[in-house]
Amino acid sequence: MPDEISTLLKRIGIFLFLVIIFFWIYQDPQRDESGSIVEAGNIDALELFAGDCYKDSTFALVEGESKPIHTVEAVPCSSPHNNEIANTFPNLASKKINIDIFEQMGDICFSALSIYTNDSENTSQEAYDSFNSEYRLNILYFPLTDLEIEADPNKKFSCVISNNDSLSQNSVRNYFSR
pLDDT in tens, 43-64: 888 789 999 999 975 544 444 4
pLDDT for 35 beyond 80? yes
The pLDDT assigned to 110 comes to: 95
Confidence band of 148 (pLDDT split at 50, 70, 90): low
pLDDT for 23 beyond 70? no
Count: domains in the chain: 1
66 lies in some domain? yes
94 lies in some domain? yes
CA–CA gap between residue 86 and residue 98 (Å, rounded): 27
Lowest-pLDDT range, 31-35, 59-63, 90-94? 59-63
pLDDT for 79 beyond 60? yes
Answer whether 97's CB lies under 8 Å from 134's CB. Answer: no
**Average pLDDT score over residue span 108-122:** 95
Of residues 16 and 80, more confidence is placed in 80
158 lies in some domain? yes
Entry pTM: 0.76
Range(s) of the domain holding residue 151: 28-177
135 lies in some domain? yes
17 lies in some domain? no
Q: Which are the contacts of 15, defined by CB distance < 8 A and separation ≥ 6?
A: none
102 lies in some domain? yes
76 lies in some domain? yes
Beta bridge partners of 166: none
Of residues 150 and 154, more confidence is placed in 154
145 lies in some domain? yes
